[in-house]
């Protein structure tokens, strides 16, 4: 039986099918992140949001307690609270279309620079976001802005919440394991500030206290990329990504939600989430099919989430948990890309491999991927 050769593969340096070796790794080559220019102290956030929501008396006191217990000192936002709060969802999406691409571009350029891989060599673009929708969307904007090949294979991972960054890495790992010559760029962009809503109820106040804006990117390649022989030492290779694993906890379906409303996206977050993580996380980690981690990169969903992870895994504040607390303190919860920022922080401090990344989100879902030597 004859086979037709896909000529498009040659336009971005992809090998012909018969040239692909049988086995490949997925090597994490570089990381980068970016934040918008408006930086607020948590004290400023407390005052401005209380004023915008017209909180008084008991509600103002409750808001003050939530802010105080957030574990955050500073956050960045793309758009001022006062400009957003009265917008409809369509207007918020228009703002997303305008503000997300430059942030995604900046984080991508930093990740590409640290990887040593030039934009035109990227074969796969994986965009992750849960805070905005458009078509043509962020993926096509990044192709233009970064100068990626018009033949780049694009994947959009949408509305998965805080664990979306790990799903993006897992997709990149699968691609690079299947195609040793692949080079994947994962870009997470979240503009949580676009969903400031005029709602004084507790769930909304908690989300207003925790979430921030930011972008994070990662570059992953297959192990037979002939442009990067010995690139782990020469071009900043960090380690190999595993296939990853996932756990869906069905009884937690309503404990963490993210719903579209006429005035932006609304979050539900109950106190049951830390409770179930204490109960289920240890066995989940014990069954991961990868070497025992020496370090953890934990998504800093909030101080209660981090404490639950600490208790469940008996980390005693160590094993990389300090990095997650620092990222929460200095940046807030930037949703999907935050775990990549934690990993970048761990890398700066030369934490040992294996590193297990963990994140949590709607479902209730636990996602994992590990970085091994």
Please give the Cα distance from 38 to 123 (Å, whole number).
34
Q: How far apart are CA 301 and CA 164, in angstroms?
A: 13
Pick the catalytic residue: 162, 176, 188, 192?
Answer: 162
**What is the C-alpha separation between 181 and 235, in angstroms, rounded?**
16
Catalytic residue check, 162: yes
Encoding tokens for residue 149?
Answer: 């090949």
Q: Which residues are catalytic?
A: 162
């Amino acid at each position: 039986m004859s086979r037709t050769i896909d000529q498009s593969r040659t336009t971005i340096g992809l090998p012909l099918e018969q040239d692909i070796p049988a086995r490949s790794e997925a090597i994490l080559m570089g990381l980068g992140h970016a934040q918008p220019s408006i930086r607020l102290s948590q004290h400023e956030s407390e005052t401005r949001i209380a004023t915008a929501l017209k909180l008084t008396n008991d509600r103002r006191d409750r808001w003050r307690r939530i802010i105080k217990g957030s574990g955050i000192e500073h956050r960045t936002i793309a758009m001022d609270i006062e400009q957003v709060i009265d917008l409809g969802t369509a207007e918020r999406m228009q703002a997303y279309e305008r503000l997300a691409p430059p942030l995604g571009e900046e984080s991508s350029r930093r990740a590409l620079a640290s990887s040593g891989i030039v934009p035109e060599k990227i074969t796969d673009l994986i965009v992750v976001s849960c805070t905005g929708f458009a078509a043509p969307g962020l993926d096509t904007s990044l192709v233009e802005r970064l100068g990626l090949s018009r033949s780049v294979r694009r994947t959009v991972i949408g509305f998965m919440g805080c664990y979306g960054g790990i799903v993006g890495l897992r997709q990149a790992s699968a691609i690079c394991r299947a195609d040793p010559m692949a080079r994947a760029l994962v870009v997470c962009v979240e503009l949580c500030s676009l969903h400031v809503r005029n709602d004084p109820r507790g769930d909304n106040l908690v989300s207003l206290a925790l979430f921030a804006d930011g972008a994070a990117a990662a570059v992953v390649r297959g192990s037979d990329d002939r442009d990067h022989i010995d690139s782990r030492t020469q071009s900043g290779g960090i380690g190999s990504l595993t296939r990853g694993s996932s756990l869906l906890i069905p009884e937690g379906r309503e404990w963490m939600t993210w719903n579209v409303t006429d005035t932006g996206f609304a979050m539900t977050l109950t106190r049951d989430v830390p409770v179930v993580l204490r109960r289920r996380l240890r066995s989940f980690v014990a069954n991961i099919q990868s070497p025992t981690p020496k370090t953890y990169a934990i998504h800093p969903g909030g101080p209660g989430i981090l404490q639950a992870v600490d208790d469940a895994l008996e980390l005693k504040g160590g094993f990389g948990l300090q990095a997650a607390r620092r990222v929460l303190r200095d940046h807030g919860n930037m949703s999907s890309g935050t775990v990549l920022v934690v990993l970048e922080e761990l890398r700066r401090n030369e934490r040992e491999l294996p590193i297990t990344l963990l994140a949590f989100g709607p479902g209730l879902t636990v996602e994992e991927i590990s970085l091994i030597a």
